[in-house]
Chains A and B, each alone.
Chain A
Amino acid sequence: MNRPTSIKLPALGIDVGAKPLRTRGRSGSIVKVEQVGEGSIEEVLDRSAYSNINADWVNAKGAWLIHVVLICIGKLIIDTVPGMTQQISWTLVNLFYLALSYLMFHWVTGIPFHNDLHGGAYDDLTLWEQIDDGAQYTPAKKWLFILPITLFLASTHYTNYNPWLFSVNISALVLVLIPKLPQLHRRRVRLVHDDPSGIATPTTPGFPSGASTPSSLRDITEAHFR
């Protein structure tokens, strides 16, 4: 569509009250770090109106022990697979635990229960960022930090210090520990394609890609609405 050049509209994130830019301007970098969930007064109000049961459970009774229980059960199940050696078993337990805990705490955003009470104020935040209202170094977070490290150390011990398995395990561990750092609280690392319009292709959650919008949507005419 031809647009007259006199019209210049500022590029902004869509927000009530004209928030400042959420995305950076064009740059030559491959990766950029974005802030999410700015905490405008309305979002703070919506988050604090009711208690967030989706994030409070980590402080409940038994929520810490359940990790250990599930790891043991997982180990037992994996051990029942025929032809399983101790080395592979421990590696698998470590990797599965890291993968599942990453998925649950750092990939999925939003809240599954009591979604209406908070009016979408948590839609951009992962479970890790919701715990304890975003306070860092709380007991629950410390436990969730220590546990993967302990599991990793146990797995290296039982894999007889095989260098290949060690490298696999430690890279997985480092990948999972990075989003737990307080410096990355409410920040997303996004890969930037270098196409001329500077469109960001997110790899971390927040934007399900618009590629699923069918192109036939553009072909719907007024006739469909009569």
Chain B
Amino acid sequence: MTMMSQSVDAFVEGLSSFLNSIPGSAVLVRYVKSSHQNDPGRTVLELLLVAFAIFTLLQSRTRADRSGKHFIQFEEKEIDELVDEWKPEPLAEPLNDVEASDLAAVPIIIGQTGPKPTLARQPSKIIANLASYNFTGLAGKEVIKERAIETLRKYGLGSCGPPGFYGTLDVHMQLERDIADFLGTEAAIIYSQGFSTISSVIPAFCKRGDIIVADRGVNFAIQKGIQISRSSVRWFDHNDLKSLEDVLDSVEKERKKRRAPLTRRFIITEGIFEKDGAMIDLPKLIDIKYRKKYRLILDESISFGTVGRTGRGLTELYNVPAAKVDMLIGSMANGLCAGGGFCAGSQNVIAHQQINGPSFVFSASMPALLAVSASEGIDILRSTPSILTKLQQNVRTARSLLDELDCISIPSHSASPIIHLHIRKPAAGLLHPGSPSLGGGHSLKPSNPTSILPREASKWDWDIETEERALQQVVEEALKRGVMITRAKRLRGQEMVEARPSIKLALTSELSTDEVKKAIKVVAQALKDVLRK
């Protein structure tokens, strides 16, 4: 102990002689000596602490997290080079060949659209329109047109504001009541654009830390909504409820393992999928949701106004009370030929969206005449269920004729008013990679729920450009013969998983059975002619 104290004394002596050069150091040395009090350990610790503090003070500032990984630090020379090389891009890029031909191929309709529009290119030929979403023939109905013109004279065109800021009119509130009454839910809320409806509902309820279990085949708007919400997302196989249960179980297991707190959990799926026309089994899904205690966000953008006895959607078709779906989203643009979309649910769900739905708060509300058109559309659907019967009959007729073709495969449900046609590869045989109903049950191992690509994605071998070109030829062939059809238009390069090219037929109740038969025969002939080559 004495040896240690001797060595510490020597150290202190050396330090004091060094520090004598610093003014005021004599005071410091005297203080340290007096505080030593024969306890060398303590003195050493304190001196170390002071040294550490001075060391910390002398360090220079490091970069912030924000500019860490995602920021490339260029040198001056590199910056100068990049600036010299830069050529300003034109405001409108000239179209490449594919884009130019696509643009030229878009048909131009003279006058009003309808089941048999007049085209600019072939003014003499009246054709069948299997491309526009006019499922129940509400587009161009005289009653709706007159009411819309009345409303236009009364309210003007725009509503001049978001719904929360002087943009709500009595016709909007009437439409909300009509929708809630039509569907049988407590309340409904209207959004002015169909696309932004579902992508506003999802981030209104799902936040960072919540869990979303979504179908792999959901449309682009839902994918965007999920991305905005910042929730953790797990994917289940397209339209496969067994896979859904597996994923729900795995999520619960994961949560228990990490002893994480219970957060809000959602299942997001569509009634009829816009990507391929498949329809879900709603009663079974609701049963699963209650057993596992998840909330259900159901996007009925295609199925509202098209299925069910009076067009109320899947809930009517399966005879399930709409109150069992927590958030039921529909599109008045698709189903009622008006504009915008809605979300129906309980009072709490709707009241929450009035403050927290991004599109409701920040976008202008829809014009009054569209709201009135939608209300009229609902009245018409309610009073004439024969429209829906006619639509279903047309769908059945079309499917019976299309199912005979062997050059295409159809992933859509037999009752779905939109029919997707995929090119069938000759070597595929029975198992078609594109068809969702076969996909889930035949894979031996389940797909990874964190990735949107299913396990079969490695076996997908379709060439998008070739198939798009072939399908465009089919479309033009059919147009020459008098039937207007379209390819399913996709945002290539933006969706999370590239959809298979397809032709999307949208049946309508306005055409008679014979007209539908004739039109589908033309389409079938065009398909055979182009695809057999």
Contacts and interface: CB of A to CB of B under 8 A. Distances in A.
A7 B446 contact: yes
Contact of A161 (B39, B49, B65, B259): B39
Contacts of A146: 53, 56-57
Interface in B30-56: 35, 37, 39, 42, 45-46, 49-50, 52-53, 56
Which bracket fits the contact residues of B? 35 or more
Contacts of A14: 211, 232, 251, 254-255, 260
B87 interface: no
Nearest to B53: A149
A210 B259 contact: yes
Interface stretch (B447-455, B464-472, B474-482): B447-455
A30 to B, nearest CB: 18
A188 to B, nearest CB: 13
Interface string B141-180: 0000000000000000000000000000000000000000
Contact of A137 (B61, B249, B256): B61
Given A9-B449, A163-B42, A220-B293, A47 B66 contact: yes
A142 B208 contact: no
Contacts of B68: 39, 134
A115 B244 CA distance: 33
Given A134-B65, A146-B53, A222-B290, A213 B262 contact: yes
A200 B256 CA distance: 11
Nearest to B227: A16
Nearest to B68: A39
A217 B255 CA distance: 15
A170 B44 CA distance: 13
A81 interface: no
Contacts of B262: 210, 213, 217
A145 B290 contact: no
A156 B46 contact: yes
Interface string B218-258: 00000000010011110000000000001001110011111
Contact of A153 (B39, B49, B449): B49
A153 B62 contact: no
A27 interface: no
Contacts of B64: 132-135
Interface in A1-20: 1, 3, 6-7, 9-16, 18
Nearest to A42: B230
Contacts of B117: none
A150 to B, nearest CB: 8
A41 B251 CA distance: 24
A29 interface: no
A138 to B, nearest CB: 5
A166 interface: yes
A153 B50 contact: yes
Nearest to A13: B258
B209 interface: yes
B70 interface: yes
A207 B53 contact: no
| Among B227, B246, B444, B450, residue most surrounded by chain A Cβ atoms (within 10 Å) | B450
Given A23-B258, A146-B53, A207-B261, 7 more contacts: A14-B232, A132-B64, A136-B61, A149-B50, A157-B35, A213-B262, A222-B291
6 contacts: A6-B445, A120-B209, A136-B61, A137-B56, A217-B262, A225-B290
Interface of B: 35, 37, 39, 42, 45-46, 49-50, 52-53, 56-57, 59-70, 207-209, 211, 227, 230-233, 246, 249-251, 254-262, 290-291, 293, 444-446, 448-451
